[in-house]
Structure 1
């Protein structure tokens, strides 16, 4: 018997679609869809892919749907340095370079940092006094934001930023998009010393600001940034679909000037020491 039924129902509920709506959009009878969800019928490979497309299921989970229906996976998960992804890596490099002299980074869906531009390396080395932060494991946005020895100590509005970040993690988890590892990391960072207990129980109905500024302060110098997140359009590889490109944009002329100082003078604006490159 196929195990795909509960998964189809899960994704239909996650997308807030009725059986009638999904059946109409997928051009399948509501009776057949009902049979698929209850396990009374087994879908063809083409039907699984059609329903997954209508439900906008991520590629990793489409493979799971296929396996649950007894079929082989459709989508590859290639290492980012694989020859097949060379064109995509070139595009990522171009985006990161275009963002100079302001920070930009590439992360996966577990929030592990896969790539950064030179500006990000300069800026975060500057915040860390040119020393690596202490969070264990691969470089990870959540760990570095929440760890008491990470960049958290240099963010003057950290509580506001942390709340927005947690909401973002949970929003991206809707429908199972975020993997179990990301959830484990979130649980881990919420247990770090000094993290307020109320961040565990945020009200999902609370309106969110369209832009959350981040105010970094070190040695009397302040950098005000907000960020945007971009994904690669219509990828056919699991790795590429799960990548997110986060670009930081200055909110004032002071931040623009200090970022250019870091890039052009080869010195940290606060102390005139050699370039802050990690």
Structure 2
């Protein structure tokens, strides 16, 4: 994932980040142990910030690691954060830890994605969801958003597809607002253009519409569920996303671990029974 660097200098970029965070120059100055006058001079290009100041402001503005490198480059400094490929020897302990985490979460689905939703690891619980998905979508590199929203992917079996699709697209919109990523924008435009057929309980092969709506309401008491048809049953999941605290590498900063927790006892029992049959 690349970052587009404008020609306007680091000052306007820092101003954009400050305005996006809805922080005044005075508040930022207090946080960064500086003065509002100095912040104003930096933003207007009248003062060139030191490397330390660029990093301090980026920290206070919660700028993503990749974008901090971009700020440094525009300011005339070398990037501070490495971008180590996940398959590099230096990442072996991280890969092993992620594999242990995903395995421990079984039989529930869990996967790891990068900054543009490329799937870098997944457990056997995810395989349950992929039954019937087009082979083309499963060919590397696999993308989680394409896999979920494509008409030949998971979309036909997501019972509450309109709600789940809207939530995923809103998630991508928030990321696009935060990151200057042409690749992420291109992916969003692609998946947002996929047809979104309406789904009903009958269309999913489930006769009791009131039943699955009741389960949806129960789950939405605390989170929007993904209602998913599997072999004539509707499974209910809520998802959570975890990232690394204080990452010092761009690759690590952009990894996200998404887990799918059963939202009811029926789903949990079905997953355990499925694993027992497949063993």
TM bucket normalised to smaller: 0.7 to 0.9
Shift of 1:20: 0.6
Matched, 1:263 2:275: yes
Change (3 A) 1:86 1:134: closer
User: Cα–Cα, structure 1 residues 194 and 56, in superposed 2: closer, same or farther, change >3 Å?
Assistant: closer
CA contact (8 A) 1:26 1:54 kept: yes
Residues 193-239 of structure 1, C-alpha deviation per residue, up to 9 Å, x if partnerless?
3469xxxxxxxxxxx98511011114412211111100111111000
- Equivalent of residue 144 in structure 1, options 141, 144, 147: 147
- Change in 2 beyond 3 A, CA 1:80/1:233: same
Which of 36, 48, 57 is the matching residue for 1:51? 57
Find the counterpart in structure 2 of residue 167 from structure 1. Answer: 170
User: TM-score, with normalisation over the residues of structure 2?
Assistant: 0.84
- Deviation digits for residues 153-192 of structure 1, max 9, x if unmatched? 001100010011111112233332x622111111111212
Counterpart in the other structure of 2:241: 229
TM-score by length of 1: 0.84
1:184 corresponds to which residue?
A: 186
TM-aligned CA deviation for residue 86 of structure 1: 2.0
Q: Structure 1 residues 137, 7: closer, same or farther in 2, change over 3 A?
A: farther
1:134 CA drift (Å):
4.0
CA distance in 1, matches of 2:136, 2:230: 15
5+ residue gaps, structure 2, are 1-6, 199-219
State the alpha-carbon separation in 1 of the partners of residues 221 and 190 from structure 2. Answer: 26
Q: Structure 1: which 5+ residue stretches go unaligned?
A: 197-207, 268-278
Root-mean-square deviation (CA, aligned residues, Å) is 2.2
CA–CA separation in structure 2 for the residues paired with 1:210 and 1:180: 34
Write out per-residue CA displacement over residues 90-140 of structure 1, whole angstroms, 9 at most, x where no aligned residue.
22112211211110000012111111012212x123253xx5254887211
- SS of 2:246's partner is coil
Match of 2:35 in 1: 29
Identify the range of structure 1 (252-261 vs 37-46) with the bigger mean alpha-carbon deviation: 252-261
Query: Structure 1 residues 216 and 49 mapped into 2: Cα distance closer, same or farther (>3 Å)?
Result: same
Quick check: 1:89 aligned with 2:95?
yes
Q: 1:250 pairs with 251, 262, 266, which one?
A: 262
